[in-house]
Amino acid sequence: MRAVDIIADKRDGKELTGEELGFLIGGYTAGQIPDYQISAWAMAVFFRGMTSAETAALTRVMLGSGAVIDLSGIPGPFIDKHSTGGVGDKTSLILAPLAAALGIRDPMMSGRALGHTGGTLDKLESIPGFRTNLSVGEFRSILAKDGFAMTGQTREVVPADRLLYALRDVTGTVESIPLITASILAKKAAEGAEGLVFDVKYGSGAFMKEASQGEKLARSLADTGAAMGRRIIALLTGMDEPLGNMVGNFLEVEESLDCLEGAGVRGRPGPEDLMEVTLELGARMAVLGGKAKDAAGGRALCEDCIAGGRPRELFLRNVKSQGGDPVKLLELRGNWRSPVGAEIRVPPGAGESAKNGVSGAPLYIRRIDAWKVGNAAVALGVGRNRTEDPVSPTAGIQFHRKRGAPVKAGDPVMTVWSATEEGLAAALPRLEAAVEYGAEPPSPQKLVLKEITAGPAAAGPDASTGPAEGGR
Ligand code: URA
């Protein structure tokens, strides 16, 4: 076989065999096929797509590029959730300890910032000392002890995704349904989860801009996951506006801690949009884990559990288990920020055309475009332009007002922190352009649009082997 022939076949729209995909991905992982050939192949896949058989074969080949984590000897149920990527999306940081407190074990293998979207690993690593490059042995023992463990693709586990993910990020080949499906499912199959909840995002800040594309991705994940014997629930959720009030690595850790302390839950002040999505995902994790019989019951369970404080305790315990310093984290909370900062306020004359010259007419934020915010965040240092770029733990954006808020000229909309002066200069115009004002409030938006399920039936309540050690 020759890589060039396989690339040309995909370019011409042919279906590749598992053997061909194995040759290509195996050769790449072994360092025998260069980046430029895999980039060309990924671009051909981007334009030509893949059949469902090809997508499943690619997932299996990527999974087979490394070890599968053996969870035998650790009591389950093992349920994980994965997001297809968004801006301000920190639900994993809240859900993993929440699931653990419900008696579900969450073996979580996540990714880094990709394109304009943030990465769970980068957020966690902003906690001083926190390690996400766990060996398989460390992953197992932390999972057994804390009820969840959070790691990245390594040289041992799904090494093909570690390479391909970084390559796609810089070659314009992220937004491909089969490549996203294989990337996510290979990680999820390797970590040993039996049931998976997918948060499939659509909207300006997602890789899938339209709900119809998001639904296709959700179906691809559900069908491929079910073909691999996993129970799947996929929620299609909106990503037109950043989720929550913070975008940035340490800022998002702080916001997650706030939510673990009850912010935004049951009418308490806080990021309601973030907690709406988090609780809906948590509810499905509870259902798949056999802790609730339906989503409504699962949601109530999650809300009670947060109110009881156990998820926060488990989060801080896991910080310590993964090498981080929980005392330092709490000390830095609220005051660790990049030195270069600015505030964006409602400009004089904002929404003037919409007000039809009527001075004193009401003014609302109609939209904060997540795509523009995500790109500005990369300029600030939150994400990266090149694989090898470091990210800043303390750069980011805090929103003081979001979609639907009534405003007047001079009101603060966001505070911005940057790793560099140049970063701030590049980000500010993008952030100013991200906010749209108007004389009418925007119509209410449903954050969870659709639910798609697949795979063997979920277990009933209490069908699990009981609470995880470290659980309730
Ligand atoms: N998340 C992943 O893990 N992989 C992708 O390709 C996109 C989002």
Select which of 105, 112, 162, 168 is catalytic: 168
Rounded to the nearest whole angstrom, what is the distance from the C-alpha of residue 84 to the centroid of ligand 1? 6
184 ligand 1 Cβ < 6 A: yes
Where helices occur in 126-194 by DSSP H, the ranges are 136-146, 159-169, 177-191
pLDDT tens-place string over residues 305-363: 999 999 999 999 999 999 999 999 999 999 999 999 999 999 998 876 666 666 667 89
Q: Under 8 Å CB-to-CB from 404, ≥6 apart: which residues?
A: 364, 365, 441, 442, 444
Is 168 assigned a catalytic role?
A: yes
Residue 57 lies in a domain: no
What region does 314 belong to: left with phi over 0, alpha with psi -120 to 50, or beta?
A: alpha
Helix %, strand %, coil % of the chain (to 5): 45, 15, 40
Alpha carbon of residue 115 to chain centroid: 12
Alpha carbon of residue 42 to chain centroid: 22
180 ligand 1 Cβ < 6 A: yes
- Same domain as 316, residue 254: yes
Select which of 183, 204, 418, 464 is catalytic: 183
- Same domain as 284, residue 366: no
Taking the C-alpha atoms of residue 435 and residue 415, their distance in angstroms, rounded to an integer, is: 13
We report the CATH number of the domain holding residue 145 as 3.40.1030.10
- Same domain as 89, residue 33: no
Rounded to the nearest whole angstrom, what is the distance from the C-alpha of residue 300 to the centroid of ligand 1? 30
Residue 383 lies in a domain: yes
Taking the C-alpha atoms of residue 195 and residue 234, their distance in angstroms, rounded to an integer, is: 11
For residues 459 and 413, the model is more confident at 413
Residue 59 lies in a domain: no
Q: In this structure, are strands 435-438 and 406-407 parallel, antiparallel, or unpaired? A: unpaired
Is 402 assigned a catalytic role?
A: no
Rounded to the nearest whole angstrom, what is the distance from the C-alpha of residue 356 to the centroid of ligand 1? 45
Q: Under 8 Å CB-to-CB from 365, ≥6 apart: which residues?
A: 401, 402, 403, 404, 405, 407, 413, 435, 436, 437
Domains of the chain: total = 3
Range of the domain at 42: 3-48
Answer yes or no: are the C-beta atoms of 148 and 99 closer than 8 Å. yes
pLDDT tens-place string over residues 114-173: 788 889 999 999 999 999 999 989 999 999 999 999 998 777 888 999 899 889 988 999
pLDDT tens-place string over residues 398-418: 999 999 999 999 999 999 999
Average pLDDT over residues 389-393: 91
Residue among 55, 62, 114 to mutate when testing ligand 1 (max atoms within 8 A of CB): 114
Residue 22 lies in a domain: yes
The pLDDT of residue 353: 64
- Same domain as 294, residue 185: yes
Q: How many CA atoms lie within 13 A of 121 on its CB side?
A: 18
SS3 333: coil
The residue whose C-alpha atom lies closest to atom 1 belonging to ligand 1 is 84
87 ligand 1 Cβ < 6 A: no
In degrees, rounded to 5, the angle at the alpha carbon of residue 29 between the alpha carbons of residues 222 and 131 is 75
- Local structure of residue 29 (DSSP, 8 states): H
pLDDT for residue 471 is more than 70: no
Main-chain phi, psi angles of 38, to 5 degrees: -70, -35
Lowest-confidence range among 33-42, 269-278, 329-338, 448-457? 448-457
pLDDT for residue 101 is more than 90: yes
pLDDT tens-place string over residues 5-44: 999 999 999 999 999 999 999 999 999 999 999 999 999 9
Q: How many CA atoms lie within 13 A of 206 on its CB side?
A: 26
- Same domain as 388, residue 279: no
Q: Which of 344, 365, 330 is nearest to 430 (CA)?
A: 344
- Same domain as 409, residue 278: no
Is 183 assigned a catalytic role?
A: yes
pLDDT for residue 222 is more than 70: yes
The pLDDT of residue 462: 38
The pLDDT of residue 245: 98
- Same domain as 355, residue 264: no
Taking the C-alpha atoms of residue 262 and residue 308, their distance in angstroms, rounded to an integer, is: 9
Share the mean pLDDT of the chain.
92
We report the CATH number of the domain holding residue 420 as 3.90.1170.30
Is 187 assigned a catalytic role?
A: yes
